[in-house]
């Protein structure tokens, strides 16, 4: 059996499993209510968000207060942060900007006129309010990043039609392999077992499996369906990671020019190097273009901070 600690240690995105399962659960709950908001390539979207924030910070594109509102949120263990949930928000830029301005105003009111002694006495309450405010702003900034990603990738998802799910699996696993140590080799069973072992830990972390006491039967059915879907998807991920079909890899990744490790912006993200926006504009692969658009969105959103 694969040692999960060794495998996770070989990944640059060791938290991807928790993010992946959290997005699956959220997507399942949204589908029950008649809306599907989850992108088909979930791991790719999470990897992009990490790259966007790191690249924006390394390239000094963010204002000083960005650290408190967003960067600190990104340092929280998945799925404890809110920035990565920005793709769930359905609103206009003006509505998102209004939320940011309102929360900043609330923060100023919380701290205004408070003496050092008052702050010391009310420290826990003030910190609690601060965390709530920063979380809401981080969620809104996540909206700006996710909008940029969607602008590039949604047309690809739309053209794929019924094949979007399979395409997402192949793109996710290709990106995961780019982020993993090249020497790591596993069997399909090992990878499947690894993801299945992550599942209970994710459920414990996000604390969302609260029974619906008014409709207990359908709640049980939904959770059972979700677990069945999850197992099937994990099997597809494991097979695509270890034994990808060459024609599908060609169709979903290479022909689409989905990811090119030689793109300057991807190299900068991988090596934590500074890069300017004009250099970013020369990006060719879809991943790199989504990364650039996401950084541009983050720069735009930071104007409201």
Given a cut of 70, whether residue 21 has pLDDT beyond it is no
How confident is the model at residue 208, as a pLDDT?
Answer: 57
Contact at 8 Å (CB) between 1 and 193?
A: yes
How confident is the model at residue 181, as a pLDDT?
Answer: 63
pLDDT digits (tens, 9 = 90+) for 79-93: 557 788 888 788 899
Q: Where are the alpha helices (DSSP H) in the chain?
A: 4-9, 16-32, 42-58, 66, 72-74, 93-111, 116-121, 123-160, 164-179, 188-206, 216-242, 246-249, 264-271, 277-280, 286-302
The residue-averaged pLDDT of 130-155 equals 87
| Dist. CA 67–CA 119, nearest whole Å | 22
How confident is the model at residue 167, as a pLDDT?
Answer: 93
Mean pLDDT, the chain, integer: 77
pLDDT band, very low/low/confident/very high, at 258 (cuts 50, 70, 90): very high
pLDDT digits (tens, 9 = 90+) for 25-71: 444 444 433 334 456 677 888 889 889 988 998 888 888 878 777 77
How confident is the model at residue 204, as a pLDDT?
Answer: 59
Tokens in use for 115?
A: 């003496």
pLDDT digits (tens, 9 = 90+) for 183-196: 556 788 887 887 77
């Amino acid at each position: 059996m694969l040692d999960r600690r060794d495998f996770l240690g070989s990944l640059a995105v060791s938290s991807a499993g928790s993010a992946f399962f959290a997005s699956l659960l959220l997507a399942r709950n949204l589908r029950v209510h008649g809306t599907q908001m989850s992108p088909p390539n979930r791991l790719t979207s999470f990897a992009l968000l990490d790259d966007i924030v790191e690249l924006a910070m390394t390239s000094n594109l963010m204002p000083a207060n960005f650290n408190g509102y967003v960067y600190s949120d990104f340092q929280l263990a998945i799925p404890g942060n809110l920035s990565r949930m920005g793709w769930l928000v359905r609103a206009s830029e003006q509505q998102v900007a209004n939320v940011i301005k309102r929360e900043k105003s609330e923060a100023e009111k919380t701290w205004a006129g408070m003496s050092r002694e008052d702050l010391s006495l009310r420290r826990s309450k003030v910190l609690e309010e601060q965390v709530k405010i920063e979380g809401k702003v981080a969620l809104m900034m996540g909206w700006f990043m996710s909008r940029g990603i969607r602008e590039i990738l949604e047309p690809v998802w739309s053209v794929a039609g019924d094949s979007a799910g399979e395409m997402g699996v192949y793109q996710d696993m290709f990106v995961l392999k780019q982020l993993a140590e090249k020497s790591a080799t596993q069997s399909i069973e090992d990878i499947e077992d690894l993801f299945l072992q992550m599942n209970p830990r994710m459920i414990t972390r996000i604390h969302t499996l609260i029974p619906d006491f008014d409709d207990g039967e359908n709640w049980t059915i939904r959770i059972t369906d979700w677990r069945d879907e999850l197992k099937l998807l994990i099997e597809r991920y494991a097979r695509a990671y270890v034994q990808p079909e060459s024609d599908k890899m060609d169709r979903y990744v290479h022909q689409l020019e989905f990811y090119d490790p030689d793109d300057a912006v991807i190299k900068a993200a991988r090596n934590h190097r500074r890069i300017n926006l004009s250099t970013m504009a020369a990006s060719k692969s879809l991943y790199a273009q989504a990364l650039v658009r996401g950084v541009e969105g983050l720069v735009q959103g930071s104007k409201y901070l």
